[in-house]
Structure 1
Amino acid sequence: MNLSQEEWAEQFKNDDNAFLLDVRTPEEFEEVHIPGATNIDIHKGQGFVYEVDELDKSKNFYVYCRSGARSAKACEVLNQLGVANTYNLLGGILDWKGETE
């Protein structure tokens, strides 16, 4: 599900079952990321699938990338792998006004 910056931030903040996933490259992640995020690069292809398969699929996945395109694709893949709740950050970290590190 695509959420606006405000909706995504508010929902994430109030979700006790949230898992924060950054699907950008490790280099992008090193530059800047949202605190608490796990980085799994969607460009790894099958490697992305293997790593995601190890995660707790009962979590609510809050997914972001640079602008929202890769994370939208990642949400589709997560859904196919059995994750029921995925939330894509529209505008990605480019539009993010929240905390970063």
Structure 2
Amino acid sequence: MDLSQQDWADQLKADTNAVVLDVRTEDECSEGMIPNAINIDIYKGQGFIYAVEELDKAKNYYVYCRAGSRSAQACHIMNQLGFDHTYNLEGGFMQWKGEVDFPKE
């Protein structure tokens, strides 16, 4: 499900069963990440699928990428793998106005 930046942030804040998933590349993550996000690069293809299959399907996943299209694709893949609650951040990290963490070197 696509959510606007505001709806995504509001719903995430209220969700006690949430996992934030960043599907960008490692290089992109070095530009900053939404706090507490885990990174699984969708460009890793089958590796992405293997990593996602390790995740808890009972959680709610808030997925983002740079602009919103890779994360929409990731949500679609996750839904096919049996994840019922995936939320795509429309506009992606480029339009994110919330808090940002920078990965430690």
TM range (shorter): over 0.9
Partner of 1:39: 39
Q: Percent identity?
A: 62
Deviation of 1:93 (Å): 0.5
Aligned to 1:71: 71
Alpha-carbon shift at residue 30 of structure 1 (Å): 1.7
Measure how far apart 1:37 and its partner are.
Answer: 0.3
Letter in 2 for 1:6: Q
Which residue type is aligned with residue 79 of structure 1? Answer: N
> How big is the shift at 1:31?
1.7
1:21 is matched with 21
Alpha-carbon separation, structure 1, partners of 2:56 and 2:22: 16
Please tell me whether residue 2 in structure 1 is matched to residue 21 in structure 2.
Answer: no
| Match of residue 60 from structure 1 | 60
Work out the CA distance in 2 between the residues paired with 1:30 and 1:77. 25
2:12 is equivalent to residue 12 of structure 1: yes
Q: Which runs of 5+ in 1 are unaligned?
A: none
Counterpart Cα distance in 1 of 2:85 and 2:61: 6
Which residues of structure 2 form unaligned runs of 5+? none
- TM-score normalised by L of structure 1: 0.98
Structure 2 length-normalised TM:
0.95
